[in-house]
Amino acid sequence: MDMMRETLVSLEMHMAQNAELQARLELTERAESTLREELERERQERHEAQTRAGSVEQERSETQQRVAKLTEEHAQLEEEHSRLQSEVERVRDELEAERSKGFWARLFGG
């Protein structure tokens, strides 16, 4: 009878240990699952951040190209303006010279 009792006690201890190990295993599995989800979320966030950084870099590059193009166009427009300003002054001088001639000189090309 003592042997049966010892066997029963031992069996109950093993069952308790088994239940405890089962509980630990479930907690470990949940922790692992949570860690995997967090890792996947961090990977996704890092990927999105890299994508945003790439987009920002591309926008910066495009903006720099636009600035360079506009700067070049501005320089061309300034040159054109200067040329036209000189042309206006030349025509004005010619007009003034023509006006300073007398009526008869203008009429007869003198």
Residues 42-96 have pLDDT tens digits of: 999 999 999 998 899 999 999 999 999 999 999 999 999 999 999 999 999 988 8
Alpha carbons 21 and 33: distance in angstroms, whole number: 18
Confidence of residue 108 (pLDDT cuts 50, 70, 90): confident
Distances (CA, A) of 52 to 22, 58, 61, 83: 45, 10, 14, 46
Maximum distance among all Cα pairs of the chain, rounded to whole angstroms = 153
Under 8 Å between Cβ of 23 and 31: no
